[in-house]
Structure 1
Amino acid sequence: MAGSTEMGTRRFGRVNWLGLYTLASREVQRFLAVWTQTLLAPLVTAGLFMVIFSIAIGPRRGDVMGVDFTTFIAPGIMMMTVIQNAFANTSSSIVISKVQGNIVDTLMPPISPGEMVIGYMAGGVGRGLLVAVAIAAGLFVFRGMLPAHPLWALVFVLLGAGFLSGLGMVAGIFANKFDQMAAITNFVVTPLAFLSGTFYSVQALPPVLNEITHFNPIFYMIDGVRYGMIGVSDSSPVLGLAIGLAATLAILMVAWVMFGRGYRLKA
């Protein structure tokens, strides 16, 4: 029967729900299977950042924007960890599949490019969200920190994880080898994360660097999470939300086009 329903692939309307669910489930189960590496390790790393900066700088730094230094950097460290893990989840999944030669298992089923984007993004966002929850729980236990604006914090965590998931897909599609992926991580993702107000207020930067920082979409996501967690920020959270949404949609569109054309995916 022609039309919108194809029971063989569980395609209802224009969406292959079974294929989408299978891909998303695979990506989530992939990082849950090694949770000590994907969830516990980031929590330990974030804790080490907090301890080191608190001991080395905290006592001498004083207040930043009306809050103590350790409290100020906590949301930045949390968001930096979230975006790094969201990026790593999608990029590593695609690169490993390409290197092992089983990327065809994802390309052959009747899954559209949009469904591929959403399926891969589910893993990256899921991992980023779980990391954020774990770090937020640690901040509550050890520092008694509760989000000042929980909904804003959640929105920017999801937005940041979505943006870096999309960037991870683009990087994973582009890279054919692990050293190419490492280069993208070291020279693109890490600088963007560290130079986004993670450990400082951009108000302390010289005017030129301050202006340059405002062209970095990750700055708005870190700043938005800081507003959600402790109620202070360098820019308007509404402006950050608009720029974050635009950047996320743009990078997901790039990934959609690359999947649709089979760029560097098809032999």
Structure 2
Amino acid sequence: MQNLTDRGERGFGRFNWMGLYTLAQREVLRFLVVWTQTLLAPLVTAGLFLLIFNIAVGPGRPDVMGVPFLTFLAPGIMMMTVIQNAFANTSSSMVIAKVQGNIVDTLMPPLSPLEILLGYLAGGVARGALIALSVGLAMALLLGLVPQNLLLSLAFVVLGGAFMGALGLFAGIFANKFDQMAAITNFIVTPLAFLSGTFYSVDALPPLLNRLTHANPVFYLIDGLRFGMIGVSDSSPWLGLAVCTGATLLVCAVTWQMLRTGYRLKA
């Protein structure tokens, strides 16, 4: 009978598809069973942002980059919601498993580090995509906003979910306690989401802040989705695709190495 060790030592080109599917299914079902918290709540939050800005700014707000302010704002809020929830999905799943001591249930099965990485990312990307769909439908009904380039919009939503999902998994592996995870969320993820052109055009920033913003991959996610949705952007969407793809691959590679070595996962 083939033992677990033999099953885990698969040669090049052999992939545990059943194990990957099972892990991905677990991560997706994990947020679906509490859909009011993971899917409905972000939709309400996005709606509140639009409502508050509409009340605070009012109809007298001048256009931004040639489009009405709310139209300019909507894609940024959509991407901000996607990346925050993709990060929360993978990071919370990993840190809860570590704190509760059941991370062994993920590490013991014959899953390679790549399969574990892809399984967790599937949950983050799926949650981000479902949130983007719900927010997009609401914006279409309320604002009449439909994507001008659906494929490009979808590409940035998937990249956003993958990038922040991998970053969330990295943070979940690094953090050993909930307060460490909260610090990463509050002092790194939230500023990245809010200070990346979500609510404004970066052309309005001073030169130094403009350059710093262009070094932030989250800016290209927001800017790329804005181009896909309404056809305007602060930078080239093709440059954004390249930057976001490179950043996603880099974070995935670092996280894969942490999984491969068992960093902060194995005693």
Same fold (TM over 0.5): yes
User: Closer, same or farther in 2 for the Cα pair 1:34/1:9, shift >3 Å?
Assistant: farther
Tell me, in whole angstroms, the C-alpha distance in 1 between the residues paired with 2:240 and 2:67: 21
Which residue of structure 1 aligns with residue 253 of structure 2?
253
Q: Please list the CA deviations of residues 143-179 of structure 1 after superposition, one character each: whole Å capped at 9, or x if unmatched.
A: 1111111111100000011000000000000001110
| Contact 2:8–2:112 (CA under 8 A) maintained in structure 1 | no
Shift of 1:9: 11
| Contact 1:223–1:234 (CA under 8 A) maintained in structure 2 | yes
How do 1:201-220 residues align onto structure 2 when only pairs under 5 Å count? 201-220=201-220
Question: Identity percentage over the alignment?
Answer: 69
Tell me the secondary structure at the aligned position of residue 197 of structure 1: coil
Q: Structure 1, unaligned stretches of length 5 or more?
A: none
The residue type equivalent to 2:104 in the other structure is V
The residue type equivalent to 2:102 in the other structure is N
| Contact 1:98–1:265 (CA under 8 A) maintained in structure 2 | yes
Q: Please list the CA deviations of residues 100-156 of structure 1 after superposition, one character each: whole Å capped at 9, or x if unmatched.
A: 000000000110000011000000000000000000000011111111111111000
Which residue of structure 2 aligns with residue 24 of structure 1?
24
Tell me, in whole angstroms, the C-alpha distance in 1 between the residues paired with 2:242 and 2:8: 40
User: Closer, same or farther in 2 for the Cα pair 1:8/1:171, shift >3 Å?
Assistant: closer
Tell me the secondary structure at the aligned position of residue 61 of structure 1: coil
Tell me, in whole angstroms, the C-alpha distance in 2 between the residues paired with 1:38 and 1:12: 37
Shift of 1:8: 10
The residue type equivalent to 2:75 in the other structure is P
How do 1:180-195 residues align onto structure 2 when only pairs under 5 Å count? 180-195=180-195
Q: TM-score normalised to the size of structure 1?
A: 0.95
Which residue of structure 1 aligns with residue 264 of structure 2?
264
Shift of 1:59: 2.5
Q: Structure 2, unaligned stretches of length 5 or more?
A: none
How do 1:70-149 residues align onto structure 2 when only pairs under 5 Å count? 70-149=70-149
The residue type equivalent to 1:97 in the other structure is A
How do 1:7-22 residues align onto structure 2 when only pairs under 5 Å count? 13-22=13-22
Tell me, in whole angstroms, the C-alpha distance in 1 between the residues paired with 2:220 and 2:58: 24
Which residue of structure 1 aligns with residue 50 of structure 2?
50
Q: Please list the CA deviations of residues 55-108 of structure 1 after superposition, one character each: whole Å capped at 9, or x if unmatched.
A: 101434210000011110100000000000000000000000001000000000
The residue type equivalent to 1:76 in the other structure is G
Q: How many residues align?
A: 264
Tell me, in whole angstroms, the C-alpha distance in 2 between the residues paired with 1:222 and 1:58: 23
Task: Say what the alpha-carbon RMSD is for the aligned residues.
Answer: 1.9
The residue type equivalent to 1:232 in the other structure is V
Tell me, in whole angstroms, the C-alpha distance in 1 between the residues paired with 2:60 and 2:197: 19
The residue type equivalent to 2:218 in the other structure is I
| Contact 2:7–2:110 (CA under 8 A) maintained in structure 1 | no
| Contact 2:153–2:225 (CA under 8 A) maintained in structure 1 | yes
Which residue of structure 2 aligns with residue 150 of structure 1?
150
| Contact 2:32–2:38 (CA under 8 A) maintained in structure 1 | yes
